[in-house]
Structure 1
Amino acid sequence: MVILVRGILYPYDLCCSDRYSLKLQKRLAASVLKCGKNKIWMDPNEISEISLANSSKEKKKKKRIYLYTYLSLVYPYRGCYFPSRTGFSIRKLYKEGLILKKPQKIHSRARVRLYKLAKRKGRHMGIGKRKGTKNARTNQKTLWIKRQRVLRRLLKRLRDTKKIDRHLYHSFYLKCKGNQFKNKRTLIEAIQREKTETLKKKSIADQLEAKRLKAQILRNKRKMKKDKETVA
């Protein structure tokens, strides 16, 4: 028995519905269309034609195969034309619409965006929503590293811009390492406080030095006056 497909006669055992296995065609189609095998749709009315395709590329030249000798004994249909099974390529079938790629299923993200917005405000973050320990949710070591990097970067910038000297830098570097400052604001306030205290101490020291010099000058004057009186 012979079946006519596109004006071409095929042997029945090549096109028998009981022997269809489209695993190869699905795999090739998935490779060509760059998707999964479950995304491939094949026309159920053209399965006989699809089953003959076993290549992903379309061949330019199609060779005609005439059955002689042994095949003529098996298929006694002289004059019938039996082309190669690679005659129909996957790309050709895709262009003709016998093989299609199923459309992407659309899943709305609107509800997810609203949920994320609510979480930013602090909703859905209560005790019942938490999984894992406090340290597992926010690692203390990671927080420590981030804080130290922020504080050290600030100290380096202040030192490079000559707002603090190297002695003050070293002092506050060690204080940061000792966990004395929790954020940049407290560090800046401490630096300003230290600078004002330093200026205050310097002004007091200058005043004391001026008084000391004045007292020394007065002592020298008295001594000179006393020496003159003794000489006279």
Structure 2
Amino acid sequence: MLKVQRRLAAQIMKCGINRVKFDSSRMDDIKEAITKRDVKSLISSGAISKGRGLNASRFWARLRKEQKSYNKQKGHGSRKGKRTARLNSKRTWINKIRLQRRYLKSLRDSNAIATHSYHELYMKSKGGFFRSLRHLKLYLNERGLVKDEKR
């Protein structure tokens, strides 16, 4: 019943047939409408209207976002992609090399290491030999390259 009218109204209003709503008080007028023009006039008069679409609620998305701002729900199970997707490998390299170079420069300026050994260490760090600043310090202590015992 009213299948044709519902289909025509959906075409005119550019929506699905389930969103087409009929005014129950004007059902007789709607039953008589058999052409697109008739249905169009009923739409303009308000006998046929477009219902509200069922959209996905943003409530849970907002809740998750708020939780993540408190560093919750960020464990290994919630992550997608590699570690490099979250931590830019270039940025981590820049931070690591700057730290190592700053440390080497401070050692050189305080005459804790010789200039030639500074250059060797600088080139090693540039080549990615040292994993971290701690590795660099360990290397210096093992080789006995640091003159000052505080460092």
TM-score for both structures, normalised by structure 1: 0.37
Among the aligned pairs, what percent are the same residue? Answer: 23
Cα separation, 1, equivalents of 2:85 and 2:58 = 31
Question: Greater relative contact order: 1 or 2 (C-alpha under 8 angstroms, separation 6 or more)?
Answer: 2
The corresponding residue for 1:139 is: 82
- Return the offset for 1:114: 3.7
Q: Which sections of structure 1, spanning at least 5 residues, go unmatched?
A: 1-20, 59-87, 152-181, 203-232
The corresponding residue for 1:201 is: 115
Amino acid of the residue matched to residue 139 of structure 1?
A: K
Give per-residue Cα distances to partners, 1:119-164, cap 9 Å, x unaligned: 221234568xx36xx7xx34246468x31xx34xxxxxxxxxxxxx
**Aligned-residue CA RMSD (Å):** 3.8
Distance of aligned partners of 1:41 and 1:190 in 2 relative to their CA distance in 1, 3 Å threshold: same
Amino acid of the residue matched to residue 117 of structure 1?
A: E
- The number of residue pairs the alignment matches comes to 112
Cα separation, 1, equivalents of 2:50 and 2:25 = 17
Distance of aligned partners of 1:54 and 1:110 in 2 relative to their CA distance in 1, 3 Å threshold: same
Cα separation, 1, equivalents of 2:34 and 2:61 = 44
Distance of aligned partners of 1:183 and 1:54 in 2 relative to their CA distance in 1, 3 Å threshold: farther
- Return the offset for 1:99: 0.8
Alignment of 1:181-220 (within 5 A): 182-193=92-103, 197=108, 201=115
Give per-residue Cα distances to partners, 1:14-61, cap 9 Å, x unaligned: xxxxxxx322211221222232211211133433432333443x3xxx
Cα separation, 2, equivalents of 1:114 and 1:44 = 40
Aligned residue for 2:32, secondary structure, equals: coil
Aligned partner of 1:113 among 32, 56, 62:
62
Aligned partner of 1:95 among 28, 34, 44:
44
Distance of aligned partners of 1:47 and 1:103 in 2 relative to their CA distance in 1, 3 Å threshold: same
Distance of aligned partners of 1:50 and 1:103 in 2 relative to their CA distance in 1, 3 Å threshold: same
Cα separation, 2, equivalents of 1:187 and 1:126 = 28
Distance of aligned partners of 1:38 and 1:108 in 2 relative to their CA distance in 1, 3 Å threshold: same
Distance of aligned partners of 1:118 and 1:142 in 2 relative to their CA distance in 1, 3 Å threshold: closer
Amino acid of the residue matched to residue 188 of structure 1?
A: R
Q: Which has the larger radius of gyration?
A: 1
Amino acid of the residue matched to residue 40 of structure 2?
A: R
